[in-house]
């Protein structure tokens, strides 16, 4: 029947629309529901999946269209490998930096003695800091730690050279800049994990004879480790994929994979498309690996921190 | 980490425990790290000498007088609005539909919302250029940026909408609506949307942040958006670039504060990928 | 085994809430004492103070005569079983039980043996390598118990360990807890709000309300001879009637239209004072034959009949007021609503407590 009594026969299909008119409510069998996701699927196919797919395919094709492993093997040449090395090194540094600092900060704000205000303001600020990334961030750090930066100049007066952390020139400097968005991300990821540490564990450990440090070493840290590592994997991925900040800091002299790809693609003229495809493909492989690792770590974390 | 009283309290038995010293130290150090670059930026924006006098607001004045500033800013705003409209048009009905009729697709959607991270902007652009070139109608216009940004805004908007829909227990509401005689469309428009207001706004603000700050794709496709303009200025005048960055920062803050105020009821995921 | 003394424990939370009101309690060596009371009565606070997770504003906690309040929780040599979630999720059952021994640096072989013995004692010999998320709630609590005993503490503390479990599991497990406690002879302090639990397994029960111990005694004492109105009504079901003393010499009170002689022990109320009469449902008899055979029976009428399994709870209205009587279900089969019955009150079982 077509009246509002239909819900009595509730199944997984909610009533379908009948178009004009407010009255009629009819039950439709399964198949047509799938139409609902067609727009999104088509959109993503067009703007994400097909371009990405073509890129992967083209990484194995010569300009004439023949199959080749040549493109991919090119990136194993020393100069490109060093580029990947530089990117991986930077990402590891940024992930480590953001990871450790984020952990310290997160444990501070999760502490029950911390005023309520700290927690919410830090969380909001983290959101803000994470959004500051890109060109403005690069300029901010140039103004701070660059050759004529405020801090650099101040330290020079004191006789200390800060060349080692010049963001325009050194990996460490760049990692420090990346930290600006990595650290808040770590914070936002870790606070829920730290909240998940049950009070009973701390108390039970104490009751059984464990002091603070022993508790952390034997219980809390092992339990947190999957979440911690998972978060650092995300940080790694974020640093690895970053382009704007690095480019704004080192212009066309940068050695990172992303910058390399940028140089090849700039201005609508792809100078060496095969190389660009291969490099991009290489990046995708690495990131996919990271995602798999992340997924596995997440599974373990959610089992323990339920 | 739940701190638990497992040792005798300091001198008094009464009174709350205080945050350990090194925690406080930490917060101060972290605060310094985040504030110093901004302060340096501001300092630079007022720095330098102009005609023998200190610059004061000179750089800001220069910026505002530059027609490129206005045109690039306006372009970014337009694209941001287009991105927001497009992504909401695409995602609201789809997310609604999935929650209602295809709940088994939810894990798939979770996976899909992670895809843009596997194909970051710098990688996507490599594939997009050859793919889109034939579509000259779209490809030559800045509007193409909006279409691309939708992909990167997707995870954030989707997650916001998903959380919002979950919070309102869509199934029950939809059945109640049907019980009262409403069609699916009217359920969406009259029942769901008003309740999703907060999630939509939060997600849209994030989308705007992404769109206004995106540099990678707009620069590689040679469109003169605001971040591209900012970068170009930075290649020449340090002080002017600093002033511009401060303006950009203030805008981001305004956006985030609005986000905080609006999204105060629910949770705010506040991460951005594309601007890096 | 250790002897525990709580002396004058007093604790107030911000906002004037008094959690403990000069609490005194003694637990003899090897004794099993339950702290019984409703939520908020302070029983958990008292336990946590003994354990070292909270501190009193005033008072002392002595174990074997020595003050322990100055010791951090990790050095008090006690074992505690929490209500839930206390097992370390990253360790197997065996590793959990070994934990206190690991901290005390016992050699591996010994640790292993002891952990296995304890897990066997709690009936989990086959689950030694399972992880907490692979164990049921009841099994987890057994592991928690084994772990609390591993380092041979002088005192065992349990904070509502069975509240989160299914009813059947609860009954089973509480008997096991008692069995193990008796076997090991360990001094035990047990917190619960479930009076059946407390009554069935304790040597003594301390009934608490609003930070104070209202009465301490064996389960029988507390049940049969409650000393305050709170204890009388909290422990078990009870009929409470208002009465006025007629003669303190003859121990008679007037309740409703009836004058009753009160048989139970103490009667130190003066003539004319208001008292409350307490009578357990099982001490109220019902006769379906109405002939007055001088049996002290009052005429009454059946108001409600509730089947409870082994007994049936019958509500009757009579000269004393509305009463509840527990009769065997067989007898109750014949009862129907509004049926006239004869209510027999066992005056030896009547207790009076001063009203107000």
Over range A158-186, report the average pLDDT. Answer: 85
Contacts of C73 in chain A (CB under 8 A): 203, 206-207
Beta strands (DSSP E) in chain B are: 49-50, 53-54
Distance CA B176, CA B161 (A): 21
The bridge status of strand B49-50 relative to strand C155-159 is unpaired
Whether C88 and A306 lie within 8 Å, measured CB to CB:
no
Other CB atoms within 10 Å distance of the CB of residue B35? 10
**C-alpha dihedral (C216, C221, C225, C230), degrees to nearest 10:** 40
* β-sheet bridge partners, residue C307: C312
The pLDDT of residue C278 is 87
Closest to C209 in 3D by CA, of C81, C82, C46 = C46
pLDDT greater than 60 at residue A12: no
Residues 6+ apart with CB under 8 A from C64: C2, C3, C154
- The Cα of C128 is separated from the nearest Cα of chain A by a number of Å equal to 18
Find, in chain C, the residue whose alpha carbon is nearest to that of A201: C86
List of chain C residues with pLDDT < 50 = none
Mean pLDDT of B53-61: 77
pLDDT in tens, A266-284: 754 556 888 889 999 999 9
Q: Does B235 touch chain C (CB under 8 A)?
A: no
Q: How far is CA B122 from the centre of its chain?
A: 18
Interface test with A, best of C78, C80, C89 (most A CBs within 10 A): C89
The answer to whether A6 and A25 have CB atoms below 8 angstroms apart is yes
CB contact under 8 A, B253 and A265: no
d(CA A45, CA A51): 8
Percentage of chain B exceeding pLDDT 90: 17
B32 touches chain A (CB under 8 A): no
Segment C104-123, tens digit of pLDDT: 999 999 999 999 999 999 99
Chain B residues in contact with A42 (beta carbon < 8 A): none
Per residue, what are the HEC states of C101-164?
HHHCCCCHHHHHHHHHHHHHHCCCHHHCCCCHHHCCHHHHHHHHHHHHHCCCCCEEEEECCCCC
- Nearest CA distance, C71 vs chain B (angstrom): 7
- Write down the pLDDT at residue A178: 92
Q: At what angle do helices C137-149 and A199-207 cross, to 10 degrees?
A: 30
Q: How far is CA B36 from CA A124, A141, A242, B248, C158, in A?
A: 18, 9, 23, 17, 53
Q: What angle do CA B105, B177, A33 make, to 5 degrees?
A: 30
Higher pLDDT, B184 or C337: C337
What CA–CA distance (Å, rounded) separates B82 from A305? 41
CB-CB contact of A90 with A178 (8 Å): yes
pLDDT recorded at residue C296: 59
**Is B14 close to C71, i.e. CB distance below 8 A?**
no
B-chain residue closest to A295, CA distance: B111
What's the pLDDT score for residue A74?
A: 85
Distance from CA of A209 to the nearest CA of C (A): 4
Beta C284-287 vs C340-345: how paired, if at all? antiparallel
Q: Which of residues 174-193 of B touch A (CB under 8 A)?
A: 174-175, 178-186
Q: Which residue of C has its CA nearest to A207?
A: C74
- For residue A113, give the nearest of B3, B26, B112 by CB distance: B3
Q: Which chains touch C (3 or more CB pairs under 8 A)?
A: A, B
Q: Distance between CA atoms of C343 and C314, rounded to whole angstroms?
A: 11
pLDDT of A18 reads: 44
CA of B26: which chain A residue's CA is closest?
A105
Distance of residue C50 Cα from the nearest chain A Cα, in angstroms: 11
Task: Identify the pLDDT of residue A86.
Answer: 92
B93 CA to chain A: closest CA distance, Å?
Answer: 8
> How distant is the Cα of A169 from the closest Cα of chain B, in angstroms?
16
A26 touches A15 (CB < 8 A): yes
Give the A:B interface size as CB pairs under 8 Å.
Answer: 309
Whether residues B8 and C70 touch (CB distance < 8 A) is answered with yes
CB B209 within 8 A of CB A44: no
CB-CB: which of B24, B90, B181 is closest to A22? B181
The CB-based long-range contact list for B257-260 (8 Å cut-off, 24+ gap) reads B258/B205, B259/A127, B259/B201, B259/B202, B259/B205, B259/B206, B260/A124, B260/A127
A138-159 in b/e burial notation, b at 16+ Cβ within 10 A?
bbbbbbbbbeebbbbeeeeeee
Res A3: pLDDT: 35
Burial label, B262 (beta-carbon count in 10 A; 0-12, 13-18, 19+): middle
Element holding B45 (H helix, E strand)? helix B21-45
pLDDT (0 to 100) of residue A6: 38
Residue C147 structure tokens: 């772990």
CA distance B268 to C116: 48
- Partner-chain residue, chosen from C72, C80, C85, that has the shortest CB–CB distance to A198: C85
The single-letter DSSP state of residue A61 is B
Nearest to B14 among C57, C71, C73 (CB): C57
- Global pTM? 0.79
In order of A24, C29, C180, the CA distances from C156 in angstroms are 68, 11, 11
What's chain B's length in residues?
276
Q: Do C85 and A201 touch (CB under 8 A)?
A: yes
pLDDT of residue B12: 35
Which residues sit opposite C216 in a β-bridge? Answer: C206
Measured at the CA of A253, the angle between CA A247 and CA A256, to 5 degrees, comes to 60
DSSP C264: S
User: Shortest Cα distance from B25 to chain A (angstroms)?
Assistant: 10
pLDDT band at A10 (very low <50, low <70, confident <90, very high): very low
| Nearest partner of B262 among B215, B225, B224, B208, judged by Cα | B208
Residue-wise pLDDT for B100-133, tens only, equals: 888 888 888 888 888 888 899 999 998 998 888 8
C238-250 as b/e: b if 16+ CB within 10 A: bbebebebbeeee
Confidence class for position A11, pLDDT limits 50, 70, 90: very low
pLDDT, residue C295, reads 54
Residue A67, judged by CB atoms within 10 A of its CB (0-12, 13-18, 19+), counts as exposed
- Contact call for A219 and C82, based on CB within 8 A: no
- The string of DSSP letters for C74-99 reads GGS-EEEE-SSS-S-TTS-HHHHHHH
Please, are residues B116 and A291 in contact by the beta-carbon 8 Å criterion? no
Q: Give how far A74 is from chain B: nearest CA, Å.
A: 17
Res A121: pLDDT: 75
Best residue in B6, B15, B16 for a mutation probing chain C (most C CBs within 10 Å): B6
- Above 60 in pLDDT, residue B10? no
Nearest one of C61, C55, C47 to C13, comparing CA atoms: C55
Q: Determine the Cα angle at A176 with ends A173 and A182, to 5°.
A: 145
For helices C93-103 and C137-149, angle between their N-to-C axes, nearest 10 degrees: 20
Both tokens of A179, joined, read 């930290």
* Chain B contact partners (≥3 CB pairs within 8 A): A, C
Asked if B23 and A199 come within 8 Å (Cβ–Cβ), the reply is: no
Chosen for mutation from A243, A259, A261, A299 (greatest number of chain B CBs closer than 10 Å) is A243
pLDDT, mean over chain A = 82
The total of other beta-carbon atoms located within 10 Å of residue B270's CB is 26
Size of interface A-C (CB pairs under 8 A): 74
The verdict on a CB contact (< 8 Å) between B13 and C57 is: yes
Contacts of A304 in chain C (CB under 8 A): 89-90, 133
pLDDT for the residue numbered B19: 67
Average pLDDT over residues A70-92: 89
| Cα C247 from Cα B74, distance rounded (Å) | 98
The predicted-structure confidence for A186-226, as pLDDT tens digits, reads as follows: 888 888 888 888 889 999 999 999 988 899 999 999 999 99
- Residue of B7, B13, B14 lying closest to C72 (CB–CB): B7
For the segment A120-146, what is each residue's pLDDT rounded down to a tens digit? 777 767 766 766 778 888 888 888 888
Could you tell me the pLDDT band of residue B159, with boundaries at 50, 70 and 90? confident
Chains with 3 or more CB pairs closer than 8 angstroms to A?
B, C
* Beta bridge mates, C306: C313
Best of B5, B9, B12 to substitute, by most chain C Cβ atoms within 10 angstroms, is B5
Indicate the pLDDT class of residue B13, thresholds 50, 70 and 90: very low
A212 touches chain B (CB under 8 A): yes
Inter-chain CB proximity A37 and B19 less than 8 Å:
no
CB contact under 8 A, A188 and B270: yes
């Amino acid at each position: 029947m077509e009246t509002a009594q239909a819900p009595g026969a509730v199944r997984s299909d909610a009533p379908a629309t009948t178009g004009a008119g407010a009255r009629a409510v009819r039950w439709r069998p399964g198949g047509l529901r799938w139409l609902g996701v067609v727009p999104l699927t088509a959109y993503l196919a067009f703007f994400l999946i097909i371009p990405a797919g073509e890129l992967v395919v083209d990484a194995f094709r010569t300009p004439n269209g023949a199959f080749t492993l040549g493109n991919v093997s090119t990136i194993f040449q020393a100069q490109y490998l060093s580029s990947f090395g530089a990117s991986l090194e930077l990402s590891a540094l940024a992930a480590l930096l953001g990871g450790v600092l984020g952990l310290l900060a997160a444990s501070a704000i999760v502490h029950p003695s911390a005023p309520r205000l700290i927690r919410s303001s830090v969380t909001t600020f983290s959101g803000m800091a994470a959004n500051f990334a890109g060109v403005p961030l690069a300029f901010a750090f140039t103004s701070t730690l660059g050759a004529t930066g405020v801090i650099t100049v101040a330290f020079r007066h004191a006789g200390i050279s800060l060349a080692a952390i010049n963001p325009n020139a050194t990996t460490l400097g760049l990692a420090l800049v990346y930290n600006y968005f990595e650290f808040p991300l770590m914070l936002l990821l870790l606070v829920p994990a730290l909240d998940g540490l049950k009070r009973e564990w701390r108390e039970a450990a104490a009751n059984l004879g464990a002091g603070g440090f022993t508790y952390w070493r034997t219980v809390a840290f092992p339990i947190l480790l999957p979440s911690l590592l998972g978060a650092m994997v995300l940080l790694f991925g974020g640093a690895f994929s970053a382009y704007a900040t690095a480019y704004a800091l080192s212009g066309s002299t940068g050695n990172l994979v992303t910058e390399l790809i940028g140089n090849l693609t700039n201005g609508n003229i792809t100078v060496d498309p095969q190389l660009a495809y291969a490099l991009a493909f290489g990046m995708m492989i690495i990131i996919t690996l990271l995602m798999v690792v992340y997924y596995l770590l997440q599974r373990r974390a959610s089992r323990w921190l339920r | 980490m739940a701190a638990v009283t497992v040792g005798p309290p300091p001198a008094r038995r009464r009174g709350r425990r205080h945050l350990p010293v090194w925690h406080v130290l930490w917060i101060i150090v972290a605060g310094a790290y985040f504030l110093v670059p901004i302060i340096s930026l501001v300092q630079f924006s007022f720095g330098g000498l102009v005609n023998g006098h200190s610059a004061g607001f000179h750089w800001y004045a220069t910026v505002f007088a530059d027609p490129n500033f206005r045109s690039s800013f306006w372009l970014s705003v337009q694209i941001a609005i287009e991105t927001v409209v497009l992504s909401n048009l695409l995602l609201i009905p789809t997310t609604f539909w999935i929650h209602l009729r295809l709940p088994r697709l939810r894990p798939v959607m979770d996976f899909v919302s992670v895809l843009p991270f596997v194909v970051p902007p710098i990688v996507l652009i490599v594939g997009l250029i050859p793919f889109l070139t034939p579509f000259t109608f779209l490809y030559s216009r800045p509007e193409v940026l909006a279409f691309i940004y939708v992909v990167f805004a997707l995870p954030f908007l989707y997650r916001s909408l998903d959380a919002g829909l979950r919070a309102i227990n869509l199934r029950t509401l939809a059945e109640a609506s049907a019980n009262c005689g409403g069609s699916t469309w009217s359920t969406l428009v009259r029942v769901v949307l008003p309740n999703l207001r907060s999630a939509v706004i939060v997600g849209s603000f994030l989308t705007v942040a992404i769109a206004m700050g995106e540099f990678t794709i707009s620069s590689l496709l040679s469109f003169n958006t605001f971040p591209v303009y900012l970068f170009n200025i930075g290649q020449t005048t340090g002080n002017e670039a600093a002033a511009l960055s401060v303006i950009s920062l203030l805008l981001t803050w305004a956006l985030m504060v609005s986000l905080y105020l609006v999204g105060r009821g629910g949770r705010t995921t506040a991460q951005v990928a594309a601007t890096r | 085994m250790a002897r525990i003394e709580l002396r004058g424990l007093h604790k107030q939370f911000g906002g004037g809430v008094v959690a403990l009101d000069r609490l005194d309690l003694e637990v003899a060596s090897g004794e099993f004492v339950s702290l019984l009371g409703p939520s908020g009565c302070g029983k958990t606070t008292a336990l946590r103070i003994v354990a070292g997770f909270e501190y009193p504003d005033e008072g002392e906690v002595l174990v074997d005569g020595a003050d322990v309040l100055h010791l951090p929780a990790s050095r008090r040599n006690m074992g505690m079983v929490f209500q839930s979630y206390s097992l370390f999720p990253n360790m197997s059952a065996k590793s959990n039980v070994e934990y206190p021994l690991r901290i005390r640096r016992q050699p591996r072989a010994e640790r292993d043996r002891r952990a296995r013995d304890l897990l066997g004692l709690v009936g989990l010999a086959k689950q030694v390598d399972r992880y907490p998320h692979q164990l049921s709630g009841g099994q987890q609590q057994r592991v928690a118990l084994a772990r609390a005993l591993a380092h041979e503490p002088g005192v065992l503390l349990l904070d509502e360990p069975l509240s989160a479990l299914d009813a059947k599991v609860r009954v089973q497990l509480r008997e096991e807890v008692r069995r193990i406690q008796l076997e090991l002879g360990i001094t035990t302090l047990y917190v619960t709000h479930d009076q059946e639990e407390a009554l069935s397994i304790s040597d003594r029960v301390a009934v608490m309300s609003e930070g104070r111990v209202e009465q301490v005694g064996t389960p029988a004492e507390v049940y049969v001879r409650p000393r305050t109105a709170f204890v009388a009504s909290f422990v078990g079901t009870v009929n409470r009637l208002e009465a006025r003393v007629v003669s303190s010499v003859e121990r008679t009170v007037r309740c409703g239209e009836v004058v009753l002689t009160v048989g139970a022990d103490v009667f130190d109320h003066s003539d004319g004072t208001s008292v409350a009469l307490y009578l357990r449902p099982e001490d109220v008899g019902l006769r379906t034959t109405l002939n007055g055979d001088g049996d002290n029976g009052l005429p009454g009428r059946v108001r409600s009949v509730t089947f409870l399994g082994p007994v049936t709870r019958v509500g009757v209205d009579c000269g004393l007021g509305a009463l509840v009587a527990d009769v065997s279900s067989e007898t109750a089969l014949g009862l129907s609503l509004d049926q006239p019955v004869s209510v027999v009150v066992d005056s030896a079982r009547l207790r009076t407590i001063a009203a107000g």
